[in-house]
Amino acid sequence: MFKNRLSRLLTMITSVMFLGAASAQAQIEIQFWHAMGGELGQKLTELSERFNTTQKEFKIVPVYKGTYTETMTAAIAAFRAKQQPHIVQVFEVGTATMMSAKGAVYPVYQLMADQKEPFNPNSYLSAVVGYYSDSKGNILSLPFNSSTPVMYYNKEAFRKAGLNPDQPPATWPELEAAAKKLQAAGYVCGFTTAWPSWVQLENLSAIHDQPIATKANGFDGLDTVLQLNGDLQVRHIGKLAEWQKTKIFDYGGRQSNSAPKFYSGECTMYMNSSAAYAAVRANAKFEFGVGMLPYWPDVTQNPKNSIIGGATLWVLNGHPKEHYRGVAKFFSYLSSPEIQTEWHQFSGYVPITNKAYEITLEQGFYGKNPGTDVSIKQLTRGTPSQNSKGLRLGSFAQIRDIIENEIEAILSGKKTAKQGLDDAVRQSNDLLRQFERTNR
Amino acid sequence: MAEKRVTFKKSTIAWLLVAPQLAITLVFFIWPASQALYQSLWQEDAFGLNRDFVWFDNFSRLFDDPSYQHSLIVTIIFSLSTAATAICFALLLACKADKLMRGSQTYKTLLIWPYAIAPAVAGALWWFMFNPTVGILAYIARGLGYDWNHFLNGDDALILVILASAWKQISYNFLFFLAGLQSIPKSLIEAAAIDGASSTKRFWTIIFPLLSPTTFFLLVVNCVYAFFDTFAVIHATTRGGPSQATQTLIYKVYKDGVEGNDWSSAGAQSVVLMIIVCLLTVIQFRFIERRVHY
């Protein structure tokens, strides 16, 4: 309260001081908090600045707020203190939390309709749009940077082991056989993974058309129950634990901590986000290829689409009405095919609109950068089912933490796959019930 | 009697004089602490749009949570090991430095350096040296037949954070021990030496007991350090993992509050931490201090 008053006083003083200057530029500033560090952050600033030059009324002010978690927490804290930004970038894991915060968020479909800006959900990839729509098909936040896990592999190692470098293993049994050959050729470990829960459980389930949670993975209601302890998941994690012993699989930590194992040539295959492409290209001292995530052929012969990660832009309530016109204009600019194409080719995130994909295809980008189209092909294969549309679970940042705790316990041999996943489900369900209770 | 005691005729001046101290305590301790207490009785969503008064539900949820009990055990092991490691190494180094004739200044300065390093940097440094793929220490361990992997092995991870936390604290302890050693009268040690006491005997019967006030003070400070100041080390390295093996109580507050946006549970955890601190202080001063010779 005190801070509020103080800042208002300061604003008053400064506005009096700059009265002359202020009348010359009555620009409305739009705060945009994001989590894009390094080169991606610079690109985002550049895009915002270019938007600012297209018109005089609004000025987008992009502010880097740290990691995804830090950005979301900062925005929530700011909202509680009534100092919230207009736009905040939130990762997919925070989607359910944002959606339940009715009154705090201004749904994008409504914003665009209110401001009469063109906005067509059909122009987006269905795998992307499905993740961020409500049950009526309305898009609640603006898709911006989406990725999906793929498999990077060391082509030189494949050659050395007598494997076809242009044909990465498509199924898990093939991958196991290839890993054994690679180990026989002198490589320490077969494969490693980043983001264990996202890649080895959430995407595994989607690809094999198995549920992650009841109520259509949480899309149909808050009274959902986690189901990650099904036969497929127990078998798969059990297999990982078995492979860990002989280093066919070698665990390298959460997030992208396992990256050095692939870069150093210790592990020959590496599953991570398609957005890691630039990092892999910069760090791998060998020729590498990109393949789709493997599947279990006895569970499915027609693997489904994988699910996305990444972030969307959410609009927060509580600002004067005319500000939102600027937000809507900025969103139209960001979703234009040209900007989307540029962003996709620069970052390695998937092209989220069909148009951006077509343009990139026409420009021959995929021919020049082999493997960059694997992610979009994997995202768009087959017809999405209830199980492959994505997931919408409250407190999911904590649930993912619980899942990864249990995966680590299983891989280190402290628990069996069944025990560990059962425990993960039980603890997660407690959180889901609590989320249901506080978000009635 | 020549006792000097300042007395005030009017209590106003007295109150005015203590006011700054009171204000600081109120603003920086009582106010946030009462906020935590208040928050711990409510349950609300992240944005603070819905809230329910739930009495002590957050606390019962906490004590039923096996991961909370696990965190408590981890914290105890972590704090004791960190304090013990830091104190033992510092004492050893201080004894050696005390005996040094030449180059002792350089030696002392070098030993004090790590204290100037930020905890997060210290953590990152050890994290890198122990990295299973590229770290030099992990490489040596593998050469000795031990497959070091702090990404998967909880004990390895715990050893790593203990080492990183203790390493930083050694310099601090070293300074105090050195000062303590130098204040022990040389005549006492010489007398014992003339009586034929070996250097080990001299250490345990004369030096160590005379250092006990310093040791006690350092034990308190080190435990408090390990309890509350090691967040940065853990955050920069293991982030509480793998499988919660290095998740101390403080780190859990951060995880649930800041990462999980569960402010109610974080509030309850802070209250529990406050109670633990009070208990620790009472126990330390009541029972351990009695055995210390001043």
Which DSSP string corresponds to A260-276?
HHHHTTSEEEEEEEGGG
pLDDT at A201: 96
Of residues B76 and B66, which shows the higher confidence score? Answer: B76
Closest alpha carbon to B167 in B118, B99, B98:
B118
> What is the residue-averaged pLDDT of chain A?
89
Distance CA B198, CA B184 (A): 17
* Mean pLDDT score, A197-210: 96
The minimal CB distance from B258 to the residues A73, A258, A408 is found for A73
- Tokens read off for B206: 């004369």
The minimal CB distance from B47 to the residues A80, A434, A440 is found for A80
- In this complex, do A438 and B152 lie within 8 Å of one another by their Cβ atoms? no
Q: What's the N-to-C CA distance of chain B in angstroms?
A: 28
Going by their DSSP bridges, the two strands A189-193 and A288-291 should be labelled as unpaired
Distance from CA of A78 to the nearest CA of B (A): 9
Distance CA B228, CA B218 (A): 15
A43-54: pLDDT as tens digits: 999 999 999 999
CA–CA distances in Å: residue A399 to residues A182, A228, A237:
35, 11, 17
B195-206: pLDDT as tens digits: 888 888 888 888
Lowest-confidence segment of A71-85, B42-56, B110-124, B158-172 by average pLDDT: B42-56
pLDDT at A23: 41
Distance from CA of B53 to the nearest CA of A (A): 11
| pLDDT of residue A304 exceeding 90 | yes
| pLDDT of residue A2 exceeding 60 | no
| pLDDT of residue A12 exceeding 80 | no
A334-381: pLDDT as tens digits: 999 999 999 998 888 998 899 999 999 999 999 888 888 999 999 989
The minimal CB distance from A438 to the residues B44, B154, B243 is found for B44
Spell out which chain B residues touch chain A, with contact meaning CB-CB distance below 8 angstroms. 43-50, 52, 61, 67, 131-134, 149, 151-154, 239, 241-244, 255-256, 258-262
- Tokens read off for A300: 């499915």
pLDDT at A21: 46
> Above pLDDT 90, what percent of chain B?
29
pLDDT at B272: 92
3-state DSSP helix/strand/coil % of chain B, to nearest 5? 75, 0, 25
Name the closest residue on chain A to residue B57, using Cα atoms.
A434
Strand order in the sheet with A189-193: A189-193, A267-273, A149-154, A288-291
Asked if A438 reaches chain B (Cβ–Cβ under 8 Å), the answer is yes
| pLDDT of residue A186 exceeding 60 | yes
- Tokens read off for A226: 């986690």
pLDDT at A40: 85
| pLDDT of residue A319 exceeding 80 | yes
Asked if A408 reaches chain B (Cβ–Cβ under 8 Å), the answer is yes
pLDDT at A132: 87
* Mean pLDDT score, B211-229: 87
pLDDT at B292: 59
Lowest-confidence segment of A50-64, A90-104, A300-314 by average pLDDT: A90-104
Length of chain B: 294
For A:168-227, CB contacts with B below 8 A are none
Interface test with A, best of B45, B252, B256 (most A CBs within 10 A): B45
Of residues B293 and B215, which shows the higher confidence score? Answer: B215
Distance CA A361, CA A23 (A): 48
* Mean pLDDT score, A177-198: 95
Lowest-confidence segment of A225-239, A263-277, B121-135 by average pLDDT: B121-135
Distance from CA of A72 to the nearest CA of B (A): 9
Residues of A in contact with B52 (CB under 8 A): 437-438
Asked if A251 reaches chain B (Cβ–Cβ under 8 Å), the answer is yes
Distance CA B181, CA B203 (A): 11
CB atoms within 10 A of CB B95: 17
Query: Which residues contact residue B90 at a Cβ distance below 8 angstroms, ignoring those fewer than 6 apart?
Result: B169, B170, B171, B172, B173, B174, B176, B177, B218
| pLDDT of residue A24 exceeding 50 | no
* Mean pLDDT score, A182-210: 95
The minimal CB distance from A438 to the residues B50, B67, B255 is found for B50
Question: For residue A11, what pLDDT band results from cuts at 50, 70 and 90?
Answer: low
Distance from CA of B14 to the nearest CA of A (A): 29
Question: For residue A254, what pLDDT band results from cuts at 50, 70 and 90?
Answer: confident
pLDDT at A295: 97
Distance CA A204, CA A300 (A): 11
Interface predicted TM-score (ipTM) of this complex, two decimals = 0.72
Distance CA B269, CA B279 (A): 15
Residues of A in contact with B47 (CB under 8 A): 76, 79-80, 101, 103-104
> Above pLDDT 70, what percent of chain B?
95
| pLDDT of residue A7 exceeding 60 | no
